[in-house]
Structure 1
Amino acid sequence: MGKGGSLSEGVLKKIVLSYTYVAIWIFLSFTVIVYNKYILDKKMYDWPFPISLTMIHMGFCASLAFLLIRVFKVVEPVSMSRDLYLSSVVPIGALYSLSLWLSNSAYIYLSVSFIQMLKALMPVAVYSIGVSLRKESFKTETMVNMLSISFGVAIAAYGEAKFDAWGVVLQLGAVAFEATRLVLIQILLTSKGISLNPITSLYYVAPCCFVFLLVPWIFVEYPILMATSSFHFDFAIFGTNSLCAFALNLAVFLLVGKTSALTMNVAGVVKDWLLIAFSWSVIKDTVTPINLFGYGLAFIGVGYYNHSKLQALKAKEAQKKAAQADEEAGTLLEKRENDGLVKKNESEA
């Protein structure tokens, strides 16, 4: 086969792999969300203890990450001082624990479809917090886009058949804490040149999350678990659920590392629509036309935001390449001038 055929095979292989990474991530994300809903919902498995479930996840992930790093040496640990851990990882771990706690709690009160609609507010929260912490520059066009997303989510909330105010507060709190965590990762870790993959992230962050969750668990859920004799561990249910949560972290790293963050955002939209369809057809949650109209508006706003980010990234890369080309041209010109000067001196000598 000729060179052109080899190139086509290479491109085809890359496309197939990209779609495979996307499919794996969507499947695992879908599975974790539905599995958590199944465990926490009183009408299904009936184990409504979100702090306990989150602690099980964190304990499992921390243990597995420790084995992979310290015992099997699959991944090298990141060099990190005690001061850096306390000043950077601990705040991120605290926010992560709150985000997971509240998001898991929301599954007790809200449908899967409505939670996915509320999650469309994540770009709004990230941008707003980024502006307030001076990590993002304020732009009127972007703020109008954020308002359009918020307006769409508000319409979806208005059309929700089983609206629960407390559940909405929990989910919005989860979005706010998660957005703050994402911004702080940029400020506290990325800006210092520290990059954590999912395994090293869980190795450092998961134990911190477990400790933070332990305090509210002792006062909120432990007395109820003991009083109702619900303090049991179903290895089949919680083991597979925790394994799926760990695998999802690896899938995120695989998807972003082999494709891009933008691909993950687009895949996230596909996953949200699949979850809405699953929630309506299988779980039998009520999805109203107003729900879909509002989320549709939010979806358009999120799509435009991702498009704007992509264009800005392309422009930045183009400027970087132009600067590199100018630098290389200047170096080449300087070399030619030096070579000419050497030859001139040799001829004069």
Structure 2
Amino acid sequence: MENGDSILLQPIRHLTSVKDGENPKSNVERLSKTSRPLLPNSSAIIINLPDTPTTGSDRSPNVVQNFLSEINPKTQAFTWDNAFHNISYIISWYFFSTALSFYNKALVGKDKFDLDLPLFVSAMHTGSHFLITSILRSGRLSCIYKKPEGKSVSINSYFTRVVPCALAAALEICMANSSLMYITLSFYTMVKSSTPIWVLLFAFLFGLENPRFILVFIISIISIGVIMTVFGETAFNLTGFLLVLGAAICSGFRWSLTQMLLQQEESMNHPIATLYYISPVMFIAMVTLSLIFERPIREFGYSKHFKDLETITQTFGLMIIGGILAFCMTISEFALIKNTSTVTLSVAGISKEVVVIMLSVLIYQDQLTPLNILGLVVSIIGIAGYNYYKISKNSQDNKGRYQAVPSHKNESKD
């Protein structure tokens, strides 16, 4: 057999996927050099042999290139262009998510700008999201986003899937922003790191993950770390702690609903579409909560932030800036997941938490005790263990499967 030839592997139980409009028999028609006919009712794929001999591994000897190529598991060969885009996605998500954390603390913190309307601020954020996504979906900026044709969410799916997901997201954001009025940013970040616990628990409840001893062990490790963090906090505030803990629980519930939504609704597999559908519900829920608990209309009458037209314009301008930061963070987060993996996002999230805590100590002079630091380290170990488990599980699930190796570079991108 010569280099560049193709070999036929058969039989195969099933093919993983067939693209829309593609003839399943096209693989058969591509065969140019085979001596055996296809067996009846069997599937086949083609593996193109390389034009140059290999020595058991096709990885580059360059360690840096190997590392950068691992960032994108969907790309079979390393290219500097792909590496540059993946790193830019990580940097963008890092910047916007970190900036949003400090923005929220500076805006609603009692010792900072002291805008005592965290629920109303959150509502303004989601309102700006709806305006931005409506403009993008109108087709006026087709160079940025092109609306898919013939795809929309049914009324039944909207009320049974979209609305619960939006309400969970609204509760999470409102409680998270409200907690920053009572606790330090570092303590908020450490307690919010308990989110993987609730993600796993709701995944068990909804059948998205099978209960295993190793997962229960990982949950226990993260829980111990959070408990150590709480007992080590010198400026402990019960209200703030319960709010951020409730935000972590809602986050786990929300991400489980989001996973089911994205898996079952083809029309919502893009962040623009997702924000477009869930932001109106989130806006209504947040405004309602604000009217009940904050009474913003009364606040407008005597607050120093709404005393005249100039300050009102500045205050609402600050709110819109937060909405833009949140929007950019969501878009960069989706791009990071789409072009790399959720594991990459999780690892980046761990390092981001460490950076946020370090910056909050330097900027806001937050006090950390040895027990605080030890609890954070234990939680990070648990989160890292969960990421390692997911990597190993995904590797085992994909082992032994034949995958078609594209013969052209453009075919590697769906």
**Shorter-chain TM band:** 0.7 to 0.9
Report the 3-state secondary structure (helix = DSSP H, G, I; strand = E; otherwise coil) of the residue aligned with 1:136. Answer: coil
Q: CA deviation at 1:192?
A: 4.9
Q: CA deviation at 1:233?
A: 4.3
1:178 matched residue in structure 2: 251
Q: CA deviation at 1:227?
A: 4.3
- Out of 107-116 and 11-20, give the one that drifted further: 11-20
1:287 matched residue in structure 2: 368
Counterpart Cα distance in 1 of 2:82 and 2:164: 38
For structure 1, the 5+ residue unaligned runs are 326-349
Matches within 5 A, 1:58-69: 58-69=126-137
Aligned with residue 166 of structure 1, among 234, 239, 243 = 239
Against the structure 1 CA distance between its residues 287 and 233, is the aligned structure 2 distance closer, same or farther, given a 3 Å change threshold?
farther
Counterpart Cα distance in 2 of 1:261 and 1:23: 16
Does residue 29 (structure 1) correspond to residue 100 (structure 2)? The answer is: no
Counterpart Cα distance in 2 of 1:226 and 1:38: 20
Counterpart Cα distance in 1 of 2:193 and 2:323: 25
Counterpart Cα distance in 2 of 1:240 and 1:135: 36
Q: CA deviation at 1:246?
A: 1.1
Partners of 2:139 and 2:146 within 8 A in 1: no
Against the structure 1 CA distance between its residues 140 and 10, is the aligned structure 2 distance closer, same or farther, given a 3 Å change threshold?
closer
Partners of 2:271 and 2:330 within 8 A in 1: yes
Q: CA deviation at 1:289?
A: 1.6
Aligned with residue 122 of structure 2, among 28, 50, 54 = 54
Partners of 2:153 and 2:265 within 8 A in 1: no
Q: CA deviation at 1:219?
A: 2.2
Aligned with residue 199 of structure 1, among 258, 267, 272 = 272
Give the helix-richer structure, 1 or 2: 1
Percent sequence identity is: 26
Higher normalized contact order (CA 8 Å, seq sep 6+, divided by chain length): 1
1:347 matched residue in structure 2: none
2:300 matched residue in structure 1: 226
Does residue 249 (structure 1) correspond to residue 330 (structure 2)? The answer is: yes
For each residue in 1:288-322, what CA deviation from the matched residue of structure 2 results, as whole angstroms up to 9, or x when unmatched? 22111111011001001000001111111224x24
Counterpart Cα distance in 1 of 2:344 and 2:208: 23
Does residue 212 (structure 1) correspond to residue 285 (structure 2)? The answer is: yes
Counterpart Cα distance in 1 of 2:313 and 2:384: 42
| Residue identity in the other structure for 1:18 | N
Counterpart Cα distance in 1 of 2:102 and 2:392: 34
Q: CA deviation at 1:191?
A: 3.5
Partners of 2:98 and 2:352 within 8 A in 1: yes
| Residue identity in the other structure for 1:76 | K
Aligned with residue 202 of structure 2, among 117, 121, 129 = 129
For each residue in 1:228-248, what CA deviation from the matched residue of structure 2 results, as whole angstroms up to 9, or x when unmatched? 245534244223222111111
Q: What TM-score do you get using the length of structure 1 for normalisation?
A: 0.86
RMSD: 2.2
For structure 2, the 5+ residue unaligned runs are 1-51, 53-57, 66-76, 307-311, 405-414
Counterpart Cα distance in 2 of 1:245 and 1:192: 23
| Residue identity in the other structure for 1:206 | S
Does residue 75 (structure 1) correspond to residue 156 (structure 2)? The answer is: no
Counterpart Cα distance in 1 of 2:201 and 2:292: 33
Report the 3-state secondary structure (helix = DSSP H, G, I; strand = E; otherwise coil) of the residue aligned with 2:79. Answer: helix
1:317 matched residue in structure 2: 398
